[in-house]
Structures are given as C-alpha cells and as structure tokens.
Amino acid sequence: MAPKNTFGVFLLFCLILLLLSVESRWTSLGTHEKYFSSLRRTKASIHNTILPDFEMRNYTQTLDHFNFGPNSYDTFLQRYAMNFKYWGGANTSSPIFVYIGDEEELFIDKFTTDFLVTNAPHFKSLLVFIEHRYYGESNPFGSMEEAYKNSSTLQYLSSEQALADCAQLITDLKKNLSAENSPVIVVGGSYGGMLAAWLRLKYPHITIGALASSAPILYFDDITPHNGYCSVVSRDFRESSESCYRTIKNSWHGIMKTATQYEGLTALSQMFNTCRPLTSVEELTNVLEHIYFVRAQYNDPSSNLVNELCEAIDKDSHEINPLRRIAYGVKAIHGFSRCLNVWSVEEMNEFDRLFGWRWQNIKEVLKDFGSNVIFSNGLRDPYSSGGVLQNISSTIVAVTTTKGIPSVSVCARMGA
C-alpha cells in the first residue's frame, strides 16, 4: 500500500505528471520546459515541426467571454492550424473536422493529426486544430510565469472560456470561408475529448457531432469509483504479469520498513541509484508510483510499456526480495548508468505553482481523480476510468477498440 500522508500533494503532482510528462525525461530539474515536455514529442524526437499541408495561424481571441468589465474587451492571440488539402469546399458543404486542443502546446505532428488526416480524404473535410488558451503559444499574458502568477491572471483559464474560444473561432472561420453550411465535427482526446463532448452539448448549433476519445466525461460526482485511476493502473500491471503485480504490491511494505531502519534511506538511495540522497521515503514512493502511472497511461500496444517494465521486474526469478526486483526493473528501463531523479515536496509545489493544469484541476476538472489504492483492480486505459464503454442513447454511442481507449461519440445525426 502506498503511503497516505503526502497523498494530497502527491495526487495533484501525479495528475500533472500523468497528463503532461514523459517518464524518460528524469534527467534534470533545471528547466520546467524540459521537465514537462510530452511523451510523444520526446518519443518522436520532433521539436514540433509542423507537418506539410498545415498552415499555422493566429486568431485574435476574446479574453473573457462572460463579462462586460473593461478587461473583457482585451484580446490575445490564439494559435490554430489549418489543412485545406482534402477539403471539398464550401459550395459542396464539405465538412470541417476540428481538433480541440488540450492542456498542452498544440503539436502538429503525426500523433495528433493522424486520425483526422486519415479520415479527411473520405469526407473531403477541412482540418482545423485549435490550441487551448494558456498553453503553448496561446498565452494571454505572454509567459507562463506571468499567466500563472496569481488569481488575477489565472481567472481566464477555464474550460468554459476554452469552449467559448472554440465556438467563436469556428463561427468566425465558417463566416470567412462562406462555409456556414459545412457541418462541424469536433474531436479530442482526454481532457480535450471532454471539451469536444461539452462543446457539442453546450453549443449544439455549432457542431453536429463530437468524438471524445479516452475522455473521462463521467468522472464526476459519484458516477464512477473514486479510486478509478489507480485501480486501472493496477489491473494493467496485473494483466501483464501476476508476479510483477504482486512484487509491486509487496514492495511498498518493504520500502517503508527499510526507511525506518538505521541508515535505511541511504540504503534505499543506493539501491535505486537516486541522483541525490533521499531525504524522505515519499520521495522514492512518489517517483515509483509516477513510473507505474505513466507506463500504464501510455501503454499502447506498440509501446508495451507495462510489459517492458514487468519483464524487467520478473527477470530474476530467484530474487525473492520484492524491493530488489523493483530496483532492478526500474534501473533496467531507465538505464543502469543513469541516476534516478527524485523531488522534494517543495519542488513539486514549485511545479504546481507554475502549472496551469493544477489550477484547472482544482477549480473544475476531475477533482476526485484517483486515490492511492494502487494495485487493486480496474479497467484498461486509466485515464478512461470515467470513460464511456456502453451506448448511452441512440445519439450518444460508445466506440470501443480492442486494447484501445474508449471513445464516446455525441452525434446529432448518426451517419452524418
């Protein structure tokens, strides 16, 4: 069982990491940019090179859609990308597919665009990708430091404002293209998927359908169990290997016990090859849970991140000490020559302070997301633990894929 005392801080930290970070980037805490760079970006070694056929644009967006105070007339530049290659044009009322950006910089890379680019020729659709306010270049206050400084600057960061941004931009774009008759389908993943579904629900005149991929749109109130995230992570590991699951489950006790012994933290530091001596046992447990979480969250069939870790943990079948098995597994995937970075609670708070996602989390999204009941049981993609696996109605249908991530499609007209 994971330690409970730092859980509050830790959970928020995890959320940020889970959604935005990359496990293979343990190297340095020097810059936040480095730390928060996304998994896909690092994996592809692409530094957001824009794919051909896409053009980047800036839209002069309204800062505050819901008030009439002086500041509400302020504007900022919102970044979006367009691809006209497949579009049948306004005259034929060809559709517009809009990707709703989420809590990170907009990447016009294969990972983000593939699904829409693959489907665009068939539907002769225009492709539009919208960056979410406060992320990437669509920052109303120029820099992250400035934007996340205090509640005055942060007050315009909300999903309501982001939805209104999309509604306004899409409307304006259709007008410019004389494409009022072109139907709009919005698509998003994770938090962006939630936005897509909400856009369809809140602005039904703007979009005729939404595809919310891997989106925990039911993760509110008491609809889903509150330990959903961790139970899904646990099940991922259990499905990969029962012995790996048991080893991890049993390791927490060993870690806590070792930590209370004389020179215990030193022993743990050495065993896990931490970059600096541990000052508390939570520094280690936080990092380990983070590794398990990220591996489960990004465990698509091609990467098999959970299997990879479990194979390393299971490798030495003669080793009976779960702690040593874990240490070996972590070092094997991380690189035996590299040290394992650990963070203090103060350092985590500093990231939090600089990071908008926490603000949104606290304010509105996914307040009860997860718990530390790690390694019990659950679903597959942990982030979808509030996802939709069954059809809700004839127009709100669940689209599931094998070993995949559940999506929900909210359509006005099926087959449109």
Binding site for ligand NAG (CB under 6 A): 56-59, 77, 89, 91, 137, 149-152, 169, 172-173, 176, 390-391, 397-398, 400
Minimal distance in Å, beta carbon 361 to ligand NAG? 20
Nearest CB to ligand NAG, comparing residues 53 and 308:
53
Q: How far apart are CA 108 and CA 111, in angstroms?
A: 8
Amino acid at 133: R
Residue 352 · residue 332 · CB < 8 Å? no
The burial of 295, by beta-carbon neighbours within 10 Å (0-12 exposed, 13-18 middle, 19 or more buried), is given as buried
Q: Tally Cβ neighbours within 10 Å of residue 109.
A: 18
Backbone angles phi, psi at 239, to 5 degrees: -65, -30
CB nearer ligand NAG, residue 172 or residue 300: 172
Q: Where are the alpha helices (DSSP H) in 22-158?
A: 32-36, 39-44, 110-123, 144-147, 151-154
Token pair of 94 as six digits: 């060809």
Residue 92 CB-density burial (10 A; 0-12 exposed, 13-18 middle, 19+ buried): exposed
194/408 with CB nearer ligand NAG? 408
Dist. CA 77–CA 63, nearest whole Å: 9
Measured from the CB of residue 394, what is the shortest distance to ligand NAG in angstroms? 7
Residue 70 Cβ, how far from ligand NAG at the closest point, in Å? 14
Torsion-angle region of residue 136: left (phi > 0), alpha (psi -120 to 50) or beta? left
Pairing relationship of beta strands 407-411 and 396-399 according to DSSP bridges = antiparallel
Minimum CB–partner distance for residue 397 and ligand NAG (Å): 4
Query: Smallest distance, Å, CB 40 to ligand NAG?
Result: 22
User: Of 18 and 408, which CB lies nearer to ligand NAG in the complex structure?
Assistant: 408
Is 256 or 399 the residue whose CB approaches ligand NAG more closely?
399
Residue 199 · residue 166 · CB < 8 Å = yes
Name which of 31 and 152 has its Cβ closer to ligand NAG: 152
> Closer CB to ligand NAG, residue 5 or residue 393?
393
Shortest reach from residue 372's CB to ligand NAG, in Å: 31
Shortest gap between Cβ of 398 and ligand NAG (angstroms)? 4
